[in-house]
């Protein structure tokens, strides 16, 4: 069933939990680490032809994978991680680690990406989520991407042609392969110092070293989900091995042996209680695999 061209690169029933920062989730029916755009095109073509759901894995830092795993093909882009610099333009493959990209830019006096310091995961994942925080979001300095869209077509798209918003981007519906980022000129020592400062700030308020997927919920308009959860008295609440962090109310942490269904149940309890107390409907930021209809 798997075409010969990618058969020797495709694993079956491959465990995914260790590829996520939550350390939760069952196996992928099919799993592949493409090394080239050609590999990705062959794999997406195979999935389309067979009607197999396709999933793209970056750093697994915003994912809750079901305990039963996914009945589909997971593409882990970690081998596609080249970074090339052309003056202030940086062309980066989607599988590159975001922290590595920031360090590379800093060393070369390229400002912009440093505003994303401390955000785990890959460049592709950051683009799919429009990752960001108090200092920047990745779309601030995105110029264009090359991706395979949801119809299986290889395309180039300028930022202006992409739908995106707060923790939202239509790129999640396809496979981002490469991005061109437009940076500004900066002083190396200042960029490195600023990166360290932002990282330290995150570590001081977030349970950074624990197994989690970052903030479980998006912030409601003009509010902080973490503050709402804290004020509702939900810190420390747990279901199985999943617990609302004592350090930051919007982080659910895996204290050991948590299952996806523990996390989901805890998220439902938190959502209900915050609705009761604040009249606000929290929306998940974390992405569920298998995908659930919006």
Query: Is 167 considered catalytic here?
Result: yes
Burial pattern 256-282, b for ≥16 Cβ within 10 A else e, equals eebbbbbbbebbeebbebbeeebebeb
The least CB distance from residue 2 to ligand EPU, in Å, is: 35
Could you say which residues in the range 90-119 bind ligand FAD, by CB under 6 A? 94, 119
Taking CB under 6 A as the criterion, the residue among 44, 62, 93, 219 binding ligand FAD is 62
Nearer to ligand FAD (CB atom), residue 45 or residue 133: 133
Q: Which two tokens stand for residue 82?
A: 């080249």
Task: Give the span between the Cα atoms of 245 and 74, in whole angstroms.
Answer: 30
Q: Which listed option, ligand FAD, ligand EPU, none, makes contact with residue 248 (CB within 5 to 8 Å by class)? A: ligand EPU
Catalytic residue from among 23, 85, 157, 167: 167
Q: At 193, give phi and psi (nearest 5°).
A: -65, -40
Question: Are 245 and 235 a contacting pair, CB within 8 Å?
Answer: yes
Non-local CB neighbours of 127 within 8 Å, separated by 6+ positions: 94, 138, 139, 142, 145, 169, 171, 176, 179
> Residues 60 to 119: which contact ligand EPU by CB under 6 A?
none
Residue 105 is among the residues annotated as catalytic for this protein: no
Interface map 115-154 toward ligand FAD (x if CB under 6 A):
----xxxx-xxx-xx-xxx---------------------
Give 12's strand partners. 30
Query: How would you classify the pairing of strands 164-165 and 154-158?
Result: unpaired
Is the N-terminal amide bond of 253 cis, ω within 30° of 0?
no
Chosen residue from 45, 53, 109, 133 binding ligand EPU by CB under 6 A: 133
Which residues have a Cβ under 8 Å from the Cβ of 220 and sit 6 or more positions away?
A: 228, 280, 281, 282, 283
Q: Could you tell me the smallest distance in angstroms from the CB atom of residue 247 to ligand FAD? A: 11
Contact characters 154-183, ligand FAD, x per CB under 6 A? -----------------xx--xx-------
Per DSSP, the three-state class of 290 is: coil
Contact between 72 and 55 under an 8 Å Cβ cutoff? The reply is: yes
Please pick, among 194, 215, 259, 264, the residue that the annotation labels catalytic: 215
SS3 135: coil
Task: Provide, rounded to whole angstroms, the least separation between the CB of residue 30 and ligand FAD.
Answer: 15
Given a contact cutoff of 8 angstroms between Cβ atoms, the answer to whether 147 and 155 are in contact is yes
Q: How far is the CB of 97 from ligand FAD (least distance, A)?
A: 8
List the one residue from 113, 115, 121, 226 that touches ligand EPU (CB under 6 A): 226
Asked if 239 is part of the footprint of ligand FAD (rule: CB under 6 A), the reply reads no
Q: Please report, as ranges, the residues that interact with ligand FAD according to CB under 6 A.
A: 21, 55-63, 77, 94, 119-122, 124-126, 128-129, 131-133, 171-172, 175-176, 206, 208, 212-214, 287
Q: Please report, as ranges, the residues that interact with ligand EPU according to CB under 6 A.
A: 133-134, 202, 205, 214-215, 218-219, 224-227, 230, 248-250, 285
């Amino acid at each position: 069933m798997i075409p010969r061209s990618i058969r020797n690169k495709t694993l079956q029933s491959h465990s995914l939990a260790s590829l996520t920062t939550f350390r939760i989730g069952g196996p992928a029916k099919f799993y592949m680490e493409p090394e080239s755009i050609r590999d990705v095109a062959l794999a997406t073509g195979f999935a389309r032809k067979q009607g197999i759901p396709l999933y793209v894995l970056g750093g697994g830092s915003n994912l809750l994978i079901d305990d039963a795993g996914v009945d589909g093909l997971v593409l882990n882009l970690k081998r596609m991680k080249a970074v090339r610099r052309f003056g202030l333009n940086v062309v980066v493959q989607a599988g590159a680690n975001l922290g590595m990209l920031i360090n590379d830019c800093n060393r070369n006096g390229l400002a912009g990406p440093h505003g994303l310091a401390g955000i785990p995961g890959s460049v592709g994942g950051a683009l799919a989520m429009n990752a960001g925080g108090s200092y920047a979001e990745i779309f601030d300095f995105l110029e264009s991407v090359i991706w395979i869209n949801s119809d299986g077509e290889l395309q180039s798209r300028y930022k202006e042609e992409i739908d995106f918003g707060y923790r939202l981007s239509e790129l999640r519906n396809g496979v981002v392969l490469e991005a061109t980022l437009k940076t500004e000129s900066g002083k190396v020592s200042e960029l490195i110092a600023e990166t360290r400062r932002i990282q330290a700030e995150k570590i001081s308020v977030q349970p950074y070293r624990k197994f989690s997927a970052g903030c479980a919920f998006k912030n409601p308009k003009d509010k902080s989900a973490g503050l709402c959860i804290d004020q509702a008295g939900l810190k420390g609440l747990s279901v199985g091995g999943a617990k609302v962090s004592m350090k930051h109310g919007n982080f659910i942490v895996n204290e050991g042996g948590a299952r996806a269904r523990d996390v989901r149940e805890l998220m439902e309890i938190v959502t209900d209680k915050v609705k009761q107390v604040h009249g606000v409907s929290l929306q998940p930021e974390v992405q569920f695999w298998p995908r659930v209809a919006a």
